[in-house]
Structure formats: structure tokens, C-alpha cells
A and B are shown apart, each in its own frame.
Chain A
Amino acid sequence: MTENSKLLQPENPVGIIGYGAYVPKYRLPATEVSKVWTDGVGGLPVVEKSVPGIDEDVVTMSIEAARNAMNRARIDVSEVRAVWVGSESHPYAVKPTSTIVAEAIGAVPNTQAADWEFACKAGTEAMVAAMGLVGSKMAKYAIAIGMDTAQGRPGDPLEYTAAAGGAAFVIGPADEALAEIECTYSFVTDTPDFWRRAYQKYPEHGHRFTGEPAYFKHVTEAAKYMLETSETKAEDYAYVVFHQPNAKFPQTVGKQLGFTPEQIKTGLLVSEIGNTYSGAAIIGLTAILDEAKPGDRILMVSYGSGAGSDAMILKVTDQIDDRRKNAPSTRSYISRRKEIDYATYARMRGKLTMK
């Protein structure tokens, strides 16, 4: 690493002690959306997307992912000093998601609890904060979660992809980690590509403006600086995972940065489950951790509208093989699949007016 670097690196090495994914069971094929709104004409950004059950929200999904992460971490929950949940779909406008999650996993009362919001990068933002808390030895363990039940306005292009899912991570000292997080770098500007105003149910977006100056600019700058400053090249990584709002963007940016389809494919889940927003990059990471080998290097780059990217370099340790079997794999959630039609989707997502 060069002097004066803008990389974020904790004084004491940290890593992922346990990880857990969650994806709801229901799937809405993109053809169901196009049948209703475009007469089936035009290309589709994904094959299908995950839809939360009528009794699911960011609280319940975060609880299950956190339980999976704790089962892999195998630590005493009384040593957890933070439960942080990143989302753009917290069930309450005022009242933390994180206190309910902390209560359900038994982490109360001696803990930090807060909700994070940064469009699709709230999850990695919470991970970076957890690295700081653990890396400064203020806390031994911290839990960072990114989870969403994203909404798209009926007929909007986002309706094809706005999905539900995410992941949880127990962050702790590197010598207990199944993957060490070597460093992170964040690239942030004020870019109005996507937003939702207070009291509005559905978000607005800048249409074509969401591509070049938003997603591509931030992901590319974050990844490039990370590679240059850490003096690594694309071929040093076994896997790479990007934020994935659709199937095209992450594959395009990956190719531009010199990564092969082989490096990208394990963490690229968007065609099968849609864009899980705060969960999108990190559930790609859990799919990678499900199959990575000790010594493998992983590059993750998230993206959140508004806008910014967090890049993170991870190195898998020999503790991975022993831990991963203690909770369901990401793939087992993806294959637990029940297809629904547009009418069922409209009911489940509260799009039918009852009064």
C-alpha cells in the first residue's frame, strides 16, 4: 500500500466471522410484468425477481439472515456490540428495525442498534462502520446487515427488477475470520439518479441518467482506485462481485475493468432473484463465500444511488470449510422457488386498494 493512501484500513485486522443470506420463496417472472404493461414487447432486464411473502418485511428477513450468520460465527451473542441494518425499505418510518432484530437474536441490551440508509449501498456502509468499531477494538463483534423489499411503481421499468433479499455479516477480529477484509475504499458524490421523497410509496429515477454518470462512474472509480492503490490486478482475484441493478451493468463494468465472465458469474444472481438493492452486492458475496477456497481473493464493489460505491478486498481463510455448512447456502434459498402471477404479486405487495 502506498503512503497517503485513501484506502480505509483498520489498525487491527478484521474479517467476516459468520455470514448468512436470505431470499423469500416467491418469484415473479419478468414476462408477467411485460404481459400486463407492454403487451410482451421489448427486452427484459432479468428472468425473474424474488417477492416477499405477505408476512415478510426487512425485519423478518434480517432476523433470518442474522440467525444464519450467527450459526456460522458460533460466538456468544452477548459479545455482539452492534446490530446495524442497512435498507431503503425499513417497515417503520420512525422506530428502528435493528432493535427488533437485536431482540430476536438475543443481542439486547448491551449493544449499539441503528438503521442505515444509502439507497443500494446501505449494507456495505454498515459493514465499513462495523470494521471501524471492531478494528479500533471498541467492540469484539458487530453485525452488519443489508436487506430490502424494494418497490417499483406499477408499469415502471423498475417493476421488473425491484426485489427482496439480502445478507448479514458478523464482523470480528481477523484471526477468527472465515474471510479477512483487507481494506475498503469509498467514492461518493452528489448525483441525483434515483430518490424517493418523504411519504411517497414509489421512487423516482433519472432514466438514462442512471447509467453513465451514476452507476458506471462510481463503480469504476472505486474499483480502479482500489486496484491501483492495493497494487493488485484483475487476475489476482478468484471472484468479483458488483452491485447488480440488472444483468447488463455489472457484466459491462466487469469487462471494462478486465475481469472475465468466469470471475463474475458466481456472484451474479440478479437474473434469478432481481435487484435486492441494499442486499444486491452482498448476497452475491455470500454466494461466493459458499464456494470459495482458502486463499481466494474477492473484490466487491457496491453502488448506491445518490451516489457512491464501496469497494472491498477480501481474502478467504482456512476457517471457511468448517463454518459454511452451519447454515443454508445462498443457492438453497434461490432454488426454494414458487412462481406467482401478476395478480398474486399485486395482492402480496399491497397494490390492491381495499378501502
Chain B
Amino acid sequence: MDIPRHWRLKKQRYALVGEVCDHCDSKVFPPRDICPDCGEEAKTLYSFSGKGEVYSYTKVFEAPAGFDENAPYTVAMVKLEEGPLVTAQLTDLDESNLEIGMPVEMVTRKLRSATDERGMLVYGYKFRPVMA
């Protein structure tokens, strides 16, 4: 039963809420309460702007259970403008424009249904090409 996990992760998933280090001002995502740069405690919540660029990407044809409805789809590592790298699905993509360095922005989308059509809906961040 992963309802508690979905519930616990909702803030970071819906709105890209991470943490900022009070010691060196590094921005942390996903939140882990420890600064990866200076090793000090980092517990202050920080809302990321959602802007970033494609660092790397791959196309998924054989999707894991729960994601098959979306296949084929593109997963990218996105370098957020505040620094951290996050892995997420790209959406509303024009594949002809897809390249490393492409500017993207965070949107909140339906990730999947937790089990079948009777299960809870799971929402979270994806990235799309920046709107002109």
C-alpha cells in the first residue's frame, strides 16, 4: 500500500518544494535535510522556480507497470536553474525540437493511477518546453 508514501511526497511532487542550506545557500532537491555541498543540516523549505534545461534524455518504449498508458514517452535529467538535477518525464513535447540544453519548465501533471481505475490518482512534476 503506497498511499502513505504518495501523501508524504505531495509537497515536493506537486510544486517542486525542496530545501535550502542555511550555511552555504545551496538549493537541495529532492529534500534530504543534509546539504550535499557542505554536509551541514539543510531543513529550510525552498520552492524551486521550475525553470531548467535538459541535461540528458532517453525515450521509454517498454514502460513499467502503471505507466504503460503513457508509452512511448521521454524521460530527462533536468538541470534546475538553482543547481540540482532531477529526473522527470517530459510532456507536451515536439520531438523535433528535443536536444540537450533545451529550456524547460515544471508543470504538475497526472503521473499515474496508483493501482487500477479504482485507485488514487498520483500527481506530480513533469517538464515541458518553455512556452514562448
Interaction A to B: yes
The segment from A58-66, A170-178, A202-210, A273-281 found at the interface with B is: A58-66
CB–CB A336/B107 < 8 A: no
B111 touching A55 by the CB < 8 A rule?
Answer: yes
Given B15, B91, B94, which contacts A55 in the complex, CB threshold below 8 Å? Answer: B91
Which of A25, A54, A91 sits near B70, CB closer than 8 Å? A54
Instruction: Contacts A55-B109, A60-B107, A60-B110 given; indicate if A100 touches B131 (C-beta within 8 A).
Output: no
Q: What is the CB-to-nearest-CB distance from A78 to chain B, in angstroms, rounded to a whole number?
A: 13
Given contact pairs A103-B10, A103-B14, A104-B14, A64 touches B131 in the complex (Cβ within 8 A):
no
Are A59 and B92 closer than 8 Å at their CB atoms? no
User: A60, B15: Cβ atoms under 8 Å?
Assistant: no
Residue in contact with B132 in the complex, picked from A57, A106, A332, A338, CB distance below 8 Å: A332
Asked whether, in the complex, the Cβ of B121 is within 8 Å of the Cβ of A59, the reply is yes
Residue-wise interface mask of B (3-18) relative to A, using a CB-CB cutoff of 8 A (1 in contact, 0 not): 0000000110011000
Q: Shortest distance in angstroms between B23's beta carbon and chain A's nearest beta carbon?
A: 25
Give the CA-CA distance A25 to B70 in the complex, in Å.
16
**Chain A residues bordering chain B, tally (CB within 8 A):** 22
The answer to whether B108 and A63 have CB atoms under 8 Å apart is yes
- Asked if residues B14 and A57 are in contact (CB atoms below 8 Å), the reply is no
- Find chain B residues with CB under 8 A from A55 CB: 70, 89, 91, 109-111, 126
Tell whether B123 is near chain A: CB-to-CB under 8 Å. yes
Contacts of A157 in B (CB 8 A): none
CA distance A273 to B104 in the complex (A): 25
If A103-B10, A328-B131 touch, whether A53 touches B121 (CB-CB below 8 Å) is no
Bound Cα distance from A63 to B70, whole angstroms = 21
CB-based contact B109/A56 at 8 Å: yes
Q: Tell whether B2 is near chain A: CB-to-CB under 8 Å.
A: no
Smallest CB-CB A-B distances: 8 pairs: A104-B14, A55-B109, A55-B110, A63-B108, A25-B92, A60-B109, A328-B131, A104-B108
Q: What are some 27 contacts across the A-B interface (CB < 8 A)?
A: A53-B92, A53-B109, A54-B70, A55-B109, A55-B110, A55-B126, A56-B110, A57-B110, A57-B121, A59-B121, A60-B108, A60-B110, A60-B123, A63-B14, A64-B108, A91-B110, A100-B14, A100-B123, A103-B10, A103-B11, A103-B14, A104-B14, A104-B123, A105-B15, A333-B131, A336-B131, A336-B132
- List residues of chain B with CB under 8 Å of any chain A CB: 10-11, 14-15, 47, 69-70, 89, 91-92, 94, 107-111, 121, 123, 126, 131-132
